[in-house]
Amino acid sequence: MEESQTISVHLVLGRLPALERLEKIFDTNESWSLFRDDKYHWVSYHPALHPKPFWTARFARGTKIVTVFYQPQEAAVGKKRVEIGHPICYPLDQLLLMYFLAGRKGILTHAAGIVRKGQAFIFAGASGAGKSTFSQLLAEAKVGKLLSDERMIVREIDGIMQAFGTPWAGTAGSAHNGQAPLAGIFILQHGPDNHIEKIGAGDALDKLLPMFSIPWYDPDTMPSIIAFAKRLVAKVPAYVMRFRPERSAADFFQRFIKNQS
């Protein structure tokens, strides 16, 4: 089994580095931008309604060491101690994990997930597809242990695809630290009835790509993540699941899994 790995974060207080001369590779036009130079990626968090960026972060290609430059916006007069907001939050936390996984046979996906009898199942879908709704139905029916209702990680470790929970919960509030071998990927859709249809690897890849965290703007990193996505759908069976937002959907899923055993 692979040893645990860490990302070292260094906090530097003071003036933020100037990024104007760097190549900008992505801009949300709302809150953050991504730049790069020959050695590093740079993230600038600058909400539109604020006059200055909150922080700037720098990380190398391997994502092992991260430096966060932070300039407190206000300091209380006469106090030696200045309180600052925690900078390791959105978007930096998810960006770091996306890049970290890119070189380590892994991917971050927009999906809910459960563990049932030692096997993990993930339920992928864009916003509004019903991840949190279906997660709540599974929890109420006690089908398995919920890992997340919003984002999951998949990694290939010792040749086995493993699913992991993440700290990011959706509207159902599920976010747990756990893992299990991944036994199935279900792409959720609302429908008039409960129905599960197995699909091929090519079709699964087409449907799942919009739900994977992939830096399409970064040609140096994108290919490795897409290559992993192809291995994932080649090794793990994928299904399209239409469901009604009621208890019958959880029961239908559980019967389907039992029949596959």
Percentage of the chain with pLDDT > 90? 74
Cα(148)–Cα(151) distance, integer angstroms: 6
* DSSP symbols for 64-86: SEEEEEE--S---TT-S------
Q: Select the more confidently predicted residue: 1 or 32.
A: 32
Looking only at the bridges linking them, the beta strands covering 65-70 and 40-45 are: unpaired
Judged against a pLDDT cut of 60, whether residue 2 lies above it is answered with no
Average pLDDT over residues 98-111: 94
Give the whole-angstrom CA distance, residue 107 versus residue 203.
18
- Confidence at 77, pLDDT banded by 50, 70, 90: very low
Other C-beta atoms closer than 10 Å to the C-beta of 128 total 10
Instruction: Lowest mean pLDDT of 18-32, 74-88, 134-148, 173-187, name the range.
Output: 74-88
User: Which tokens go with 236?
Assistant: 């793990």
Q: Could you tell me the two tokens for 177? A: 């630290």
What residues does 114 pair with on adjacent strands? 121, 146
Alpha-carbon separation of residue 167 from 39, 93, 174, 178, 203 (angstroms):
29, 10, 9, 11, 29
Residue range 108-136: mean pLDDT, rounded:
94
- Give the pair of three-digit tokens for residue 244: 């009604």
pLDDT band at 4 (very low <50, low <70, confident <90, very high): low
In the chain, what's the furthest Cα-to-Cα distance? Answer: 69
- For residues 225 and 139, give the distance between their C-alpha atoms in angstroms, rounded to a whole number: 31
- pLDDT value, residue 100: 93
| Separation CA 166–CA 169 (nearest Å) | 8
**What is the reported pTM?**
0.90
Domain boundaries, the chain: 8-100, 105-260
Whether 227 and 220 have beta carbons less than 8 Å apart is answered as no
How confident is the model at residue 3, as a pLDDT? 57
Mean pLDDT of the chain: 90
Sign of the CA dihedral running 185, 188, 194, 197: negative
What pLDDT, on the 0 to 100 scale, is given for residue 260? 83
Tens digit of pLDDT for each residue in 137-192? 999 999 999 999 999 999 999 999 999 999 998 888 888 999 999 999 999 999 99
The answer, yes or no, to whether residue 257 has pLDDT greater than 60, is yes
pLDDT bracket for residue 70 (50, 70, 90): confident
CA dist., res. 175 & res. 93, Å (int): 15
Banded pLDDT at 83 (limits 50, 70, 90): low
pLDDT bucket at 79, cuts 50 / 70 / 90: low
**Architecture of the CATH domain 105-260:** Alpha-Beta Complex (3.90)
pLDDT at position 80: 60
**Contact between 71 and 89 (Cβ < 8 Å):** no
Contacts for 246 with CB less than 8 Å, ≥ 6 apart: 137
For residue 222, how many other CB atoms are within 10 A of its CB?
A: 14
